[in-house]
């Protein structure tokens, strides 16, 4: 019973660490969009950063959805800093969003979530991609905490087997 309680607590802690990691990823992306948007003269950069950070919890689709309002604002308002036509500024904003999203997905997320869940960064990347392919956005969202929980269960069962054998 004590080992079972310990396993339950470890699984709960894994899910809490995953949620904290998701919040950290949202914060990183939101602040990056806000700071760069403000730097290039994007109107409503703070709100667009908040939206982008909020959409980070929906892998693949969320960040793409966040581009749409930013592109519309860039086309409508233009830049208060860069001397380019509004349509060109819109393309710059879309490019910045795409570059930031790729950096976040390929470099930042695997390291942050890998550290939080004690998983190798390459495994984090592979698991999220596999989850997305197998079950869409929900699969991508739940792939990491489920994988980390399964690892704990396997460790628990293998530990019990070793204890029983002695």
pTM above threshold 0.85:
no
Q: Compute CA distances 95 → 47, 88, 126, 146, whole Å.
A: 19, 11, 25, 33
pLDDT at 57: 81
pLDDT at 164: 47
pLDDT at 160: 58
Count: domains in the chain: 1
Average pLDDT, integer, range 43-70? 91
Distance CA 125, CA 89 (A): 32
Would the pLDDT of 5 be above 60? yes
pLDDT at 159: 79
Average pLDDT, integer, range 109-138? 91
Grade residue 35 by pLDDT with cuts at 50, 70 and 90. very high
Give the pLDDT confidence of 86-108 residue by residue, as tens digits.
999 999 999 999 999 999 988 99
Domain of 19 in residue numbering reads as 2-164
Distance CA 165, CA 139 (A): 37
Give the pLDDT confidence of 60-72 residue by residue, as tens digits.
788 889 999 999 9
Q: 40-64 burial by CB neighbour count: b if 16+ within 10 A, else e?
A: bbbbbbeebbbbbbebbebbbebbe
Beta carbons within 8 Å of 140's beta carbon, 6+ residues apart: 59, 60, 128, 129, 131, 132
Mean pLDDT across the chain: 90
The answer to whether 38 and 45 are in contact (CB under 8 A) is yes
């Amino acid at each position: 019973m004590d080992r079972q309680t310990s396993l339950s607590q470890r699984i709960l802690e894994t899910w809490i660490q995953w949620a904290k990691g998701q919040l950290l990823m949202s914060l990183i992306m939101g602040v990056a969009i806000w700071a760069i948007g403000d730097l290039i003269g994007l109107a409503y950069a703070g709100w667009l950063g908040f939206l982008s950070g909020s959409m980070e919890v929906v892998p693949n689709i969320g960040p793409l959805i966040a581009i749409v309002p930013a592109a519309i604002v860039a086309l409508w308002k233009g830049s208060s800093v860069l001397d380019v036509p509004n349509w060109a500024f819109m393309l710059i904003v879309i490019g910045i969003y795409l570059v930031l999203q790729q950096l976040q997905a390929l470099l930042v997320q695997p390291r942050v979530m890998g550290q939080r869940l004690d998983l190798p960064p390459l495994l984090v990347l592979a698991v999220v991609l596999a989850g997305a392919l197998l079950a869409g956005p929900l699969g991508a969202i739940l792939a990491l905490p489920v994988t980390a929980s399964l690892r704990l269960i396997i460790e628990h069962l293998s530990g019990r087997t070793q204890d029983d054998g002695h």
